[in-house]
Amino acid sequence: MYWDQNEEEDLLSMPSGRLGQLIPPWDPNGQLCIVPEGSGRFVVGYNPTLPSQHNPGSLKPYKQPPVGEALYERDGTFTGRTFYVPGPYHLPGQTVGGDIPPDAGSGAFNDNGTMTGCAFDHEANLFASDLGTAQGAFPPPDDGRIIEWFAPDYRTFCIVDGPTAGGDGPHHVDGTGGLRQPGDLAVDRNDDLMVPEAGAVDALGLPAGRVLRFAHDTLPHDAHACGTDGLYPHERLHTSVFVQGSLASLPFPSAIARDPVCHCWAVDTTFGDPAVRWFDDSGAPVPGHGTVPGETLAQIGTDPNGYNPFGLAFAPDGTLYFVDIHITCTGVLTNCGPADGAGRVMVVRVTNGVPGTPVAVASGYSFPTSVTTCDPGHQTCPRPRSRSG
């Protein structure tokens, strides 16, 4: 099991409970996805580790361009390859630029774009969610987007969904008309892309997050479908609502994962009660299946034992793992953000559709956003060099 935190990638071997580090501090900041080629290589989102973070990664060279998806060898060694959307913005001394501009005034590349989620389809094409400028404000701005890179070399791209007006450059980066804080991604058996949109709101402006389904047969299959500007025409993409949240249930869905035991889906919410709920393939709650309790909006930041799920994943036996990003706020949905050193990895044993009490199996983390599981009995899993062989 793997998770990102404080610009590094950590791991936990089960059932031994042995903790380790897959990538030392150097930019990981998003969901880890294993390349479906049998090598154990993987990608993870990144942006620069800044000196102000007091992190050893800030002493290492910045990747080019400043924001994208980085490709790693099985043992966590950076391959030197990054996947990105080309543009004019790079750090001093760099030659490779992306389309995400630096933060106004600071020159840092941390608040105008973050590749949070990722997923590979069965054709090995890579999808990533860029949450844009959504960094804790409510409601999140509608400048999130979904980007696709095409196998086998991932040198061509397409912006599948995103801002349609304003913003910066031909891709309307940080403009309007895109997604509101898209989260961790998944692909179903039909290759439809499942996209949690945590920041969606209802007609009254109240939290009403949702999980969208992008129909596979309407997704671009190569870069030619997107034209010279790299933007996929909205009218070609068929998007439906798979799960609709509300203020009362799943107001901020951040991740979705397939449960291999019930052959259904689990969806979590960073705020709200329940914290995790199970749905069938039609998007309806699974009858008789239990839920994982969570914090109500009024409880956020008041219960030191509370948890705020962000990413989640399943082991082959149906055991649920999720990361607690541990949000605190100065008021109800005001100035919310992850508390340094308070993040945890939680395990939930599920018996006959009844989830047990979440238990922390690792703790002391800063802003973990995802968790990924890998079964070495069925695929080549990433492993640090000291344990590979």
Contacts of 132 (CB under 8 A, 6+ apart): 112, 113, 114, 141, 143, 144, 145, 163, 173, 174, 178, 181
Tally of domains in the chain = 1
Tell me the C-alpha distance between 327 and 309, whole Å: 9
Q: What's the pLDDT score for residue 110?
A: 87
Cα-to-chain-centroid distance, residue 327? 16
At 310, list the tokens. Answer: 């962000």
Buried b (16+ CB within 10 A) or exposed e, 105-122: eeebbbbbbbbbbbbbbe
DSSP, residue by residue, 16-61 = TTEEEEEE-SSSEEEEEEE-TTSS--EEEEE-PPPGGG--GGGGSP
Q: What angle do CA 214, 150, 135 make, to 5 degrees?
A: 60
The predicted structure's pLDDT at residue 301: 65
What is the separation, in whole angstroms, between the first and last Cα of the chain?
18
Count of other CB atoms within 10 angstroms of residue 60:
15
> Per-residue pLDDT tens for 270-307?
989 999 999 999 999 999 999 999 987 777 766 777 89
Interval 141-182: pLDDT, tens = 999 999 999 999 999 999 999 999 999 999 999 999 999 999
Structure-token pair, residue 170: 């031909």
Per-residue pLDDT reduced to its tens digit, 218-227: 999 999 999 8
% residues pLDDT > 70 (the chain): 97
β-sheet bridge partners, residue 343? 365
Cβ-count burial of 222 within 10 angstroms (0-12 exposed, 13-18 middle, 19+ buried)? exposed
Number of Cβ atoms within 10 Å of the Cβ of 261: 14
The rounded mean pLDDT for the chain is 93
Assigned token pair, 98: 């992306």
**pLDDT in the model for residue 340:** 85
Q: Which has the closest alpha carbon to 297: 259, 270, 263, 337?
A: 270
- In terms of residue numbers, what domain contains 262? 2-387
More confident residue, 389 or 168: 168
Place of tokens 């449960």: 259
pLDDT band at residue 388 under the 50/70/90 scheme: very low
Task: Kindly state the percentage of the chain with pLDDT values over 90.
Answer: 79
Angle of CA points 35, 46, 337, to nearest 5°: 120
Over residues 34-72, the pLDDT tens digits come to: 999 999 999 999 999 877 777 888 888 899 999 999 999
Query: Which element (helix H / strand E) includes 117?
Result: strand 115-120
Q: How far apart are CA 178 and CA 380, in angstroms?
A: 36
Any idea what DSSP says for residue 282? T
**Residue 389: pLDDT over 60:** no
DSSP 312-381: EEE-TTS-EEEEE--EE-SBTTBS-EEPTT-EEEEEE-EETTEE---EEEEEEES-----B---TTTSPP
pTM to 2 decimals? 0.95
pLDDT at 387: 45
Q: Residue 213 maps to which CATH number?
A: 2.120.10.30
Instruction: Answer for the pair 257, 235: CB distance below 8 angstroms, yes or no.
Output: no
The tokens describing 256, both together, are 């979705």
